[in-house]
A and B are shown apart, each in its own frame.
Chain A
Amino acid sequence: MSDTHSLADSETRTALGHGWSTTVWDDPVNLMPYVTYVFRQYFGYSREDAEQLMLQVHNAGRASVASGDREQQERHVAAMHGYGLQATVERI
C-alpha cells in the first residue's frame, strides 16, 4: 500500500512541474553526427531517437534529453559537459 501511495505522490509531483530535466543546447562547433553519437553512447538511445533529439537541438536550439530526479540530471549534465556539449539542469 505504501509503495502505491508514494508512486502516486511522485507522479503528482512531476505532473505539477516539480521534476528536473537535462537540456542540451545548440552550439556552433559540434558536428551533428557527433551529437547523435553522444546521445546513443551515453543515454543508449536508438539511432533513430538520437537523431531526432539531435535535430531538435539543431533546429529548435535546445532539447530535453532526459528527466527525473535532480541528482540524476546533474550526473547527465556533467557527462554532457565531459563530451563538450552545452547542457543545463532545468526544473520542469
Chain B
Amino acid sequence: MRAWERTDDGVRARFEDAEAAMFENLADQLKLLHRAAAQGAVEFADPAVQRLYPDGYSDPEEAKEFKRFSLPQIAESRERAQDAIIVGLVTADRKEGHRIVSVGDDEVDDWLRGVSDMRTVLSSRIELGTGGQNADFDEDDLEQFSAVVDWLGFVQASLLEAL
C-alpha cells in the first residue's frame, strides 16, 4: 500500500490485491460483530467487545442503562462505517495486481472510524496472548495480527496526513 494522496473531492491510495482482500475480510468481520452487537447478540465478557463497547458510566447500574439505550444506534453507525470501507474496496479501480481506492470527503470519517475498530479488536487479541479466552489463536496468528495492526496504523495515519 502507498500513502494516500489528496484528490479534488477526497483521497486516493493504491492497495495490492492481497492487502485489499485482507482489508475487506476484516471489514466484513467487524460488520458482523457490530450487527450482532446492535441485536444484543455478542459476548460482552469478551475483552475485544468490552473495548469496542466500553461503559459510559463508572457506576455499573448507570453504565448498564446507558448501554441499553445508546448501544443499538452506535452499533448501527459503526456497521455503516464498515460498509463504506467494503464498498470503497469493491468498487475500486482494478489494475494488474493492485487497485486504486478512492474515498470521498464525506466517507473519510467512516474509513477512519472503521480502521480504528479493526485495530482495537486485533490489539485486544494480541494483549490477551494465547490460551484461555483466546484459545482459537496461536503465536503465529498473534504475530500476524501485530503486523496487521501496524499496517492499519499506516492506512489511518497517512489518510489523516493527506486531509
Contacts and interface: CB of A to CB of B under 8 A. Distances in A.
Contacts of A89: 56-57, 62, 66
B147 to A, nearest CB: 15
Contacts of A83: 113, 116
Nearest to B62: A89
A37 B163 CA distance: 10
A78 B116 contact: no
B51 A81 contact: no
B12 to A, nearest CB: 19
Contact of A88 (B58, B77, B113): B58
Interface residues of A, number: 21
Given A82-B113, A84-B113, A33 B54 contact: no
Interface stretch (A7-15, A23-31, A48-56): A23-31
A88 B67 CA distance: 11
A31 B120 CA distance: 11
Interface residues of B, number: 30
Nearest to A22: B56
A51 to B, nearest CB: 13
Contacts of A30: 116, 119-120
A72 interface: no
Nearest to B149: A29
B1 to A, nearest CB: 16
Interface string B17-55: 000000000000000000000000000000000011111
Interface string A63-82: 00000000000100110011
Nearest to B74: A82
A56 B57 CA distance: 20
B87 interface: no
Interface string B88-130: 0000000000000000000001001100110110010001000
A77 B116 contact: no
B55 A31 contact: no
A23 to B, nearest CB: 9
Contact of B56 (A29, A34, A74): A74
A63 B74 CA distance: 22
B112 A81 contact: no
3 A-B pairs with least C-beta separation: A84-B116, A78-B70, A29-B123
Interface of A: 27-31, 33-34, 37, 41, 74, 77-78, 81-84, 86-90
